[in-house]
Structure 1
Amino acid sequence: MSRRPYPATEAGTAAQHLLVIDDDADLLRLLSMRLKASGYRVTTAASAEAARTRLGVERFDLVLSDVRLPDGDGLALFDEIRQQHPALPVILFTAHGTIPDAVEATSRGVAGYLTKPFDSQALLARIAHTLQLGKPAPAASHATDESWRADLISHSTRMHTLLDEARLVAASDASVLIRGDSGTGKELLARAIHRASPRAAAPFVAINCGAIPEPLLESELFGHVRGAFTGATSHHTGLVQAAHGGTLLLDEIGDMPPSLQVKLLRVLQERAVRPVGATRAEPVDLRILSATHRDLDAALANGQFREDLYYRINVVSLELPTLGERREDIPLLAEHFLRRLARKYGKELGGFAPDALEALATAKWPGNVRQLQNVVEQVCALATTPLIPRTLVERALRVQPIEALGYAEAKRRFERNYLIQLLKLTAGNVSDAARLAERNRTEFYRLLQRHGLTPDLFRGGSPDVER
C-alpha cells in the first residue's frame, strides 16, 4: 500500500507537523480536519501518556494540548516537553480558562493560551504566528533547505531535537558550548551551525586546544609579529584574525591552559586581539563556538577553568548524544559510510547482511560515530563479496563469536582436553594417568582410542596435539 505524500505549506517544503492532544474525540476529529485542510500534517493523542509515546518516536513542529487530560494536566505535560524538547512550542487550550491560568501558562513559556470555544481563524492565526517565530532569521535564508546539516546523518528524535535547537541558535551571534563524548561529532555540529548562520559565506576556522603544545598555542591563536621571540622571522596571522567575519571553533577548550584563558577572555570582551610582541590590538568580528568532552562544571569547581570565561562561552549549551543513545541511527550511518567508502576503494558493495547490521546495532560504541566509521572502513577495505557478512563486522569490532555447543559436543571436548592434560602431566605413562583418572588401564585405553590419542606422542617433550 503506497503512502500518500504529505501536503506542502510552501513549494518544495514538507508540511509542518502538529501534535493535537485532547480527550474529546469529536473535537480532535474536527481540529484534525481543519488543520489538514490548512496544509498541516496532524497527529492526534487522547491522553498525556499517548502524547509522550508520540513525542518519543516522531518529530513535531508544534504541540496543541488541552489543559485537562484524563491522566494529567496540560501544564505538567508542557513542563515535560520543555525539558525534553526545549525548542518545541506548545499552545494550550481549555474550556475552563481564567486570566490567572493564562498568566501562569505564558510566564512558564507556553506559546499561546486559548479558551474554548475558540474561533478557528483565531487558532490558525496563533499557530501560524507561533511557527513563524521558530523560523530562521531572513539573513540565514540561504540555508532554508537541509544542506546545512548534510554531514549529520540521523533520523532519531533525540538528534532532530538537537538540530532544531542548533538551527534556531545559528540565526543569532550567541556563543555556543557544544558538549559530548569523543567521536560524537562536535566539530560537525559546529560547522553545521556556521553554515546555517548569517556568517556562512565567511571563514570557519577550527583549532584543537589540546593538540597544540602550550608554548605555541598563544602564537597560533593570536599571531605574532616579527622578532617577538626567537624564531619569529616574519609576521604570523593568528587563527582568531583568520576567522574575522566568520566563526572560530575552539575545540577541546577544556584543555586550554589557564594563562591563555585570561587572554581569550580579553579578546571576547574587547573584540580585539593583540598578536604576541605587538604594541596595539587589532579589532576582530567573529562568532565563538566551543566544544569539549570534559566536564567543565567539575573543572570550574576545581579551579581549572575560569568562571568568567565559562559564562562567556556558555551562552547556549548543546549536548550531543552518544551513539548508544541514538542506536536507531546506526544502520543509517553504517550504510552512509559504506556508500562513501566503497567509492573511495572503487568497490561495488551492496550493503550489510541482516545479521551484520544486527551486530553493528547491538555493539558497544565507546568511540561513538568516529569508531563506527573506522569499523565500516575496515570491513569495506577487506570485503570480497557485495554483501558485508557478520564475520567481517565482528572481526572489525574485535568480537569473538560465541559458539553455542550441544551437550554431547561440549562433553566430548571436555573429555578429550582432560585426557590430554593427564597425559602431559604423566609424560604419556598410561598407568599413572589411569590412576589419576580413577579408571583401570583397559577403560583408560578405550577412552584414548575414542579420542584418537596415542600415549607415545606425550613421551619425551611437549607434543603438538590438535584440540
Structure 2
Amino acid sequence: MSNKAEILIVDDEANTLATLARAFRLAGHEATVCDNAARALELALARPFDLILSDVVMPRRDGLALLDDLKSSGIAAPVVMMSGQAHIEMAVKATRLGALDFLEKPLSTDKLLLTVENALKLKRLETENKDLRRRVGRHEMVWTGETMRRVMSQIERVAASETRLCIYGETGTGKELVARTVHDRSSRAGGPFVTLNCGAVPAELIESELFGHEKGSFTGAAQRHVGRFEQAHHGTLFLDEIGDMPAAMQAKLLRVLEDCEVERIGADKSIHVDVRVLVATHRNLDELVEAGVFRRDLYHRVVVFPVQLPALRQRKEDIPVLVEHFVCQVCAQNGWKPVEFAAEATETLARYGWPGNIRELRNVVERLLLLADGVVDAAAVNLALPAAKTSPDRAAGEDSNSPLAERVAVFERSTVLAELERHHRHVTNTAKALGLERSHLYKKCQQLGIDLKAE
C-alpha cells in the first residue's frame, strides 16, 4: 500500500476546508472537501477513501450522526472526528460509534499528519492480516502430482491479468480456493475478496445481495445495504455456482459487467465499481446455453479463460499430502497434538472414491482425529467409511465379486452424499433434486449409514 492517502474532509467552514486540504496536498496526499454530512455520505458510498476527517458541530446533521451513518452503511474507512467544542462525553460517544481518533481545534498540522500516518499503518496491518488469513490454514493450495501441476500452471498464467476466469469442477474440489489463489497472486491482492454462492441465495434476494438496496426500498429493508459488487471495489468478486443464477438476474449481471456500474434497489443513480469477476460452477455451461437456461452473451462474458478442476478420485496421488495438511490444520485449530496416520490408513483412504471430494476428505480426517487413540490405522479408516470400504468407481463395475445389492448401495450412498454436498446439506433441496419425499430421504440415509448431523 502506498503512503499516499485519499482523504475526505467534512466541515461547514470554508477556511478550515481550504487549510486542511492544502496541508494534506503539500504532504503528498489527495484531499476531497465537503461542507455537509449528507454529501459526505454520498461521496463515501461512491468511492473508497483511506481516511475521513469530519467536524462534529455542523448544521442540519452533525458529525456524530454522519459517523453513525458511515458505520451502518458498511464504510470501512477509518474516521477521525474534530471539534472546537470538544468535551469528554463527546469524545467517548465518538469512540463508541467507531471513531479512530478525536482531535481538538485549532488543529496542529504535525498531529494531523501523524494521525493520517497512523491510519494508513492500521489499514496496512488489517490488509496484511487478511492476506495472512487467506494464505494460512484453510486457504492454501496443496498438491504434489502432475494433474494439479498442470492446473496450477494455468492459474499462475491467468492470475496476473484482468482476464475473467470460469472454474469448473465438482462440489468440494476447491473452486473457491482457486479463486482466492488467483486473487492473491493478482495486482488486486491488497483489495477485498468477496464471495457469493448464487445457488444458495433465494431468487428474490439475489439482486439485493449483488447490488445492494436503499432503506425502505422494499418490505424488510430497514437500512441501506451495500451489495457484493460495492464491497469488492478495487478487489475480486467470486460468484460460485453461476449456472444456478436466475434468468432475470443474468441480464442484470451482464449489464454490470458491460458498464462497470451498479444501481442499488430503490436508488436513482448508478455507482461505478472496479471489480474483477471470477465465476465457478459444477454444471456444464455449454449445455445450459444450448438448453436456453443460461444466456449466451453472459456466457461469453464470464467464460473467457476456463479451468477444469479434477475430482479427488482423479488426483489420488495428492491424498497423502492432503491428509498431512489437514492433520496439521485441524490440530492447530483445536490445540491438539498432531496424530500420525499409518501408511495402510492412507492407502485405505486412497482406495475410496470421494464423492464429496476434498471437502469430504477433510471432514473424514477431522473425524478420525477426534476418535484417534494414538496412530490412525486402516481399521479406524474403515470405521469412518462404513458403507464405502472400497472405491465407488470399482464397486460400480470393477469388483465383479461383490453382490449386486452391495454395489447398488455403494452407488446410492455416493450419489446421495454428492447431492447433499451440492445443496450445502439442505435436506429439502437435496430430496427435491433426487425426486424423493423429505421423509423418504431420511429413511434412505438411515439405510445407507449416512448421518445427516455428523456428515
- Greater CA deviation, 285-294 or 348-357? 348-357
* Match runs of 1:3-18 below 5 Å: none
Letter paired with 1:216: L
Choose from 201, 205, 210 the match for 1:216.
205
> Partner residue of 1:195?
184
Instruction: Give 5+ residue unaligned stretches, structure 2.
Output: 1-130, 391-400, 402-455
Aligned counterparts of 2:325 and 2:224: Cα–Cα separation in 1: 44
> Partner residue of 1:254?
243
Helix, strand or coil for the counterpart of 2:163?
A: coil
The 1:300–1:291 alpha-carbon spacing in structure 2 relative to 1, beyond 3 Å, is same
Is the contact between residue 261 and residue 271 of structure 2 (CA under 8 Å) also seen in structure 1? yes
Structure 1 residue 177 and structure 2 residue 153: aligned? no
Is the contact between residue 148 and residue 192 of structure 1 (CA under 8 Å) also seen in structure 2? no
Aligned counterparts of 2:364 and 2:138: Cα–Cα separation in 1: 23
Aligned counterparts of 1:400 and 1:183: Cα–Cα separation in 2: 18
Is the contact between residue 345 and residue 381 of structure 1 (CA under 8 Å) also seen in structure 2? no
The 1:310–1:374 alpha-carbon spacing in structure 2 relative to 1, beyond 3 Å, is same
Instruction: Give 5+ residue unaligned stretches, structure 1.
Output: 1-141, 405-467
Helix, strand or coil for the counterpart of 1:332?
A: helix
1:340 is displaced (CA, Å) by 1.7
Is the contact between residue 148 and residue 195 of structure 1 (CA under 8 Å) also seen in structure 2? no
Aligned counterparts of 1:401 and 1:305: Cα–Cα separation in 2: 39
1:171 is displaced (CA, Å) by 0.9
Higher gyration radius (CA): 1
The 1:259–1:343 alpha-carbon spacing in structure 2 relative to 1, beyond 3 Å, is same
The 1:267–1:320 alpha-carbon spacing in structure 2 relative to 1, beyond 3 Å, is same
Structure 1 residue 372 and structure 2 residue 361: aligned? yes
Choose from 375, 389, 392 the match for 2:380.
392
Aligned counterparts of 2:346 and 2:230: Cα–Cα separation in 1: 46
Aligned counterparts of 1:377 and 1:215: Cα–Cα separation in 2: 37
Is the contact between residue 327 and residue 361 of structure 1 (CA under 8 Å) also seen in structure 2? yes
TM-score after normalising by structure 2: 0.55
The one-character-per-residue Cα deviations of 1:398-452 (angstroms, maximum 9, x if unpaired) are: 24769x9xxxxxxxxxxxxxxxxxxxxxxxxxxxxxxxxxxxxxxxxxxxxxxxx
Structure 1 residue 264 and structure 2 residue 233: aligned? no
Is the contact between residue 180 and residue 292 of structure 1 (CA under 8 Å) also seen in structure 2? yes
Choose from 155, 158, 162 the match for 2:151.
162
* Match runs of 1:114-125 below 5 Å: none
> Partner residue of 2:317?
328
The one-character-per-residue Cα deviations of 1:50-103 (angstroms, maximum 9, x if unpaired) are: xxxxxxxxxxxxxxxxxxxxxxxxxxxxxxxxxxxxxxxxxxxxxxxxxxxxxx
1:339 is displaced (CA, Å) by 1.8
Choose from 326, 331, 341 the match for 1:342.
331
1:335 is displaced (CA, Å) by 1.2
1:249 is displaced (CA, Å) by 0.3
> Partner residue of 1:279?
268
Structure ranking higher on relative contact order (CA contacts 8 Å, 6+ apart) = 2
Helix, strand or coil for the counterpart of 1:287?
A: strand
The 1:294–1:343 alpha-carbon spacing in structure 2 relative to 1, beyond 3 Å, is same
Is the contact between residue 188 and residue 234 of structure 2 (CA under 8 Å) also seen in structure 1? yes
Aligned counterparts of 2:373 and 2:137: Cα–Cα separation in 1: 36
The one-character-per-residue Cα deviations of 1:311-335 (angstroms, maximum 9, x if unpaired) are: 0001100111010111100011011
Is the contact between residue 139 and residue 180 of structure 2 (CA under 8 Å) also seen in structure 1? no
Aligned counterparts of 1:311 and 1:357: Cα–Cα separation in 2: 42
Aligned counterparts of 1:285 and 1:170: Cα–Cα separation in 2: 17
Choose from 204, 207, 231 the match for 2:196.
207
Aligned counterparts of 1:296 and 1:159: Cα–Cα separation in 2: 23
The 1:191–1:400 alpha-carbon spacing in structure 2 relative to 1, beyond 3 Å, is closer
The one-character-per-residue Cα deviations of 1:91-122 (angstroms, maximum 9, x if unpaired) are: xxxxxxxxxxxxxxxxxxxxxxxxxxxxxxxx
The 1:380–1:215 alpha-carbon spacing in structure 2 relative to 1, beyond 3 Å, is same
- Greater CA deviation, 334-343 or 239-248? 334-343
Aligned counterparts of 2:303 and 2:213: Cα–Cα separation in 1: 28
1:393 is displaced (CA, Å) by 0.9
The one-character-per-residue Cα deviations of 1:117-150 (angstroms, maximum 9, x if unpaired) are: xxxxxxxxxxxxxxxxxxxxxxxxx99xx98997
Is the contact between residue 272 and residue 281 of structure 1 (CA under 8 Å) also seen in structure 2? yes
The 1:179–1:211 alpha-carbon spacing in structure 2 relative to 1, beyond 3 Å, is same
Structure 1 residue 317 and structure 2 residue 306: aligned? yes
The 1:148–1:157 alpha-carbon spacing in structure 2 relative to 1, beyond 3 Å, is farther
1:233 is displaced (CA, Å) by 2.5
Helix, strand or coil for the counterpart of 1:218?
A: helix
The one-character-per-residue Cα deviations of 1:278-328 (angstroms, maximum 9, x if unpaired) are: 111111101000000011111111111000000000110011101011110
Identity of aligned residues (%): 46
Helix, strand or coil for the counterpart of 1:338?
A: helix
Aligned counterparts of 2:373 and 2:187: Cα–Cα separation in 1: 47
Aligned counterparts of 2:136 and 2:378: Cα–Cα separation in 1: 33
Aligned counterparts of 1:289 and 1:149: Cα–Cα separation in 2: 19
1:167 is displaced (CA, Å) by 1.2
> Partner residue of 1:298?
287
RMSD: 2.3
Aligned counterparts of 1:392 and 1:267: Cα–Cα separation in 2: 52
